[in-house]
A and B are shown apart, each in its own frame.
Chain A
Amino acid sequence: MKKILALLLVALMIVGMTACGGADKKDPTTASTEAPTTAPTTKPSESQPSESQPSESQPAESQPAESQPSESQPAESQPSESQPAESLPPVSANTEKPAKNPNADALPLTIKVWTPAEDQAVDNNWLETMQAQFDAAHPEYNITWINESVSEGDAASMVTTDVSAAADIYMFANDQLGGLITAGGLAKQGGIYLDQIKNDNSQFMINTVTHTDGAQYAFPVTNNTWFLYYNKDVFTEEDVKSLDTMITKGKVCIPITTGWNAGCFFLGCGGTIFGEAGNDASVGIQFGEDHGGYKAAKKMIELVGNSNIVAGGMDTGRLIEGEVAAVFSGSWSAAELRENLGDKLGVAALPTFTVDGETYNMTAMSGSKCVGVNPTSGSVKGKQKACTQFAAFLASADAQLARYAMRGVIPAHKDLISAVANDPVAMAEINTINNSAVIQSALPQMGKYWSPVENFGKSVANGEINMGNYMDMVDQMNNQLNAEGL
């Protein structure tokens, strides 16, 4: 009896383990097995192509075949997977916000939007302002908006958990692009929308939303990089052009202990991450000797040995406390720093540094934050077109300018540079991207980048890597960066 029981328990445990272990992978399949049950009503595969026809009618000739977003998905299971959740609900939620648009012919739609919470602050609601404008400009729709807050950094994990329940339009940081496309959560842009992306943005910004297949998948709305904040009492505008001049006059906190920043010297000396456009996996990450790796490491060790250098992260607190006279951080720190330092706060693009008599620019890994459309919105006729229109509207010059006015988010639109020319933070960010920036790659292989580089920076900061062993350590890091597998 006991033996049988024990056997049973073991069997149960094995079953339990396989069931639980497989749970995560199973989800797409369980979701797609649901599809056939709802299929008769929604016609999963045919509905998409026929559905993109109406959108061709308006933008006319420039709309090529690739504007059918669902077609672009790599995994076959995705189109059918997108059906179940969206097929029944959208109309039922209409009670939440009564539609303002009395047009009888208007197409009723429910559109869910994810933006950072800051865009929806109660007294300063950029998103609702934009939605009101969009509603006014598009009487053909009767849209019920569902606005939820998901930060740009968090979007990919939220979308990929359950693509069909994710927002129809969402904002995300461009390094998530590859993962989102693989999960079938991002629609390819074409036609007038593609024209908008290409006309409104610099080549750098276009590259940030370009996948390995060469197509563009999202609308950039703002830059994402870091630059220099300094105390004007200590440094002059001339000083902050060179890091070596700066450390003769005051203390500087260099961010070499965080993965996002730690590569700045390597990138400055000629290191590359997956080629020029950041999407060529075969090239790999090149931080070795032949790409200036030794020089960069030498400079880092030299700097850490200097008494005017504090090795840390993006520690804006150090500047506020007056412990250092310059820190590196992104535009999100501007408001706090300005509040504390007032007129003394100076902002500049990343400075240069000199190694072995040669001068290089500190180089930031940069990207964009962009707005994308979820292809599962195609399950309701006409919805995907409306979603894409709204996404394009959020990325338009007017919307970016409004966001800048309301929240201080620096626009990415290339024609808006003149509008922000008086804002030192904006100019520092734009100059950093123009002069010295490397695209933050969206390739999945990018996952290998963070810890070796961060560990290298930390080891330099605590003295484990020194003049005696840096060559070996650079070689070791470079091997780790390009190691096969994970």
Chain B
Amino acid sequence: MAKKNSVGSLKAKRYTMDVIVHTFLIIIAIIWISPFAYLVAHSFRGGGNTTMYYSKFFPETFTFKHYQDLFTDKGLLDFPQMFMNTLKIACISCVISTFFVLSVSFAMSRLKWKLRRPYMNMAMVITLFPGFMSMTATYFLLKAFFGLDEHPERIHMALVICYCSGAGTGFYVMKGYMDTIPKALDEAAYLDGATKWQTFIKITLPLCKPMIVYQVITSFMGPWCDFIFCKLICRGSQDYYTVSVGLWSMLDMDKIDKWYTRFCAGSVMVAIPISILFIITQKFYQEAMSGSVKG
């Protein structure tokens, strides 16, 4: 009797524990999701009120108008162009920095050279400083190299350089992954007469596939979401704005009353490419995060 009782109470205990944990998680989830829900809902807000203030959390009527305006009313801010600018910069930077990271990781993981360890430590120290600490210096360097004042068409190139040039120092995760690939595979390839480049391309890269996906996502999202460097380098050249700078200028005091709902619409649009990329690569992403491949 007593035994049964204790089992019952144990069950009840577990049950109440589950309830408490899940309620807690649900509350956290609601808090976490509500800003996004708000953003999406208000990007479809109907009625004439386009200002920041709205009396309810969810709008009462819905319309597609703000998206329409965002893409057709280009007199003041050309959102489609900004979107394409950002897409271009992000895609180019993504390819270049992924290649940089892979190359550096390969060199760190597979090649033996004298300064390898000191270099790794140095890279570690450098990456401890956030990139924007040197932004003023970066601005003057880019200005001196490219003459951005007189050649605004070089702004995008400057931004790509800005995002890619430091990418090589972010090799730590990738190197860790490459270390788990058995060296025997490389040695076999060398024995068959492969060069280092061939080993890199034909042996290491295919095995790194899941990790490359992770790298692609992070190197795409960096430039896609960056605001600080865009603002610093674009300055007043509106034709070269990226979405983050464009969205920010929609919240200008003169514009906010009219543009706030379009700002919401624009923010939703920004999330779309990242979401697509993430959905496509999700399968690989999970593989990459779930542990190493044992040879």
Q: Give the B interface residue count (CB, 8 A).
A: 42
What is the interface of chain B, defined by CB distance below 8 A to chain A? Answer: 48-55, 74-77, 118, 121-122, 125-126, 129, 133-134, 136-137, 139-140, 143, 147-151, 232, 235-238, 249, 252-255, 257-258
**Residues on A with beta carbons closer than 8 Å to the beta carbon of B136:** 23-24, 27, 161
Interface residues on A, range: 35 or more
Q: Which of B50, B53, B148, B149 contacts A315 (CB 8 A)?
A: B53
A24 and B235 CA atoms in complex are apart in Å by: 18
Of B52, B137, B232, B255, which contacts A23 at CB under 8 A? B137
Q: How far is the CB of A344 from chain B (nearest CB, A)?
A: 13
Lowest 7 CB-CB distances: which A-B pairs, in order? A317-B53, A148-B236, A317-B51, A315-B53, A89-B150, A340-B48, A121-B75
> A12 near B122 (CB under 8 angstroms)?
yes
In contact, A162 and B143 (Cβ under 8 angstroms): yes
Write the chain B residue with the least CB distance to A151: B252
> Which residues of the partner chain B approach A321 to less than 8 Å between Cβ atoms?
49, 53-55
Q: Please name all residues of chain A whose beta carbon is closer than 8 Å to the beta carbon of B238 when the two chains form the complex.
A: 117, 148-149
- Provide the bound-state CA to CA distance between A238 and B52, in Å: 30
Q: Are A317 and B77 in contact (CB under 8 A)?
A: no
Is A92 in contact with chain B by the CB < 8 A criterion?
yes
CA A27 to CA B137, docked complex, whole Å: 7
Question: Are B235 and A148 neighbours in the complex by a CB distance under 8 Å?
Answer: yes
Asked if A62 is at the interface (CB within 8 A of a chain B CB), the reply is no
Is A416 in contact with chain B by the CB < 8 A criterion? no
The stretch that binds B, out of A206-214, A329-337, A350-358, A473-481, is A329-337
> Quick check: B51 and A151 within 8 Å, CB to CB?
no
Q: Are A23 and B150 in contact (CB under 8 A)?
A: no
The 0/1 profile, CB within 8 Å of B marked 1, for residues 150-169 of chain A is: 11111000100110010100
Which residues of A have CB within 8 Å of B76?
Answer: 117-118, 121
A190 to chain B, nearest CB (A): 28
- Give which listed residue, A152, A317, A323, contacts B52 with CB less than 8 A: A317
Give the contacting residue for A16; candidates B52, B54, B126, B236; CB below 8 A.
B126
In the complex, residue of chain B having the shortest beta-carbon distance to the beta carbon of A336 = B257
Known: A123-B75, A321-B55. A150 touches B235 (CB 8 A): yes
In Å, the complex CA distance between A148 and B74 comes to 16
A335 with B258, Cβ < 8 A, contacts A27-B137, A89-B147 known:
yes
Of all chain A residues, the one with the shortest Cβ separation from B147 is A89
A162 pairs with B254, CB closer than 8 A: no
Output the nearest chain A residue to B260 by Cβ-Cβ distance.
Answer: A317
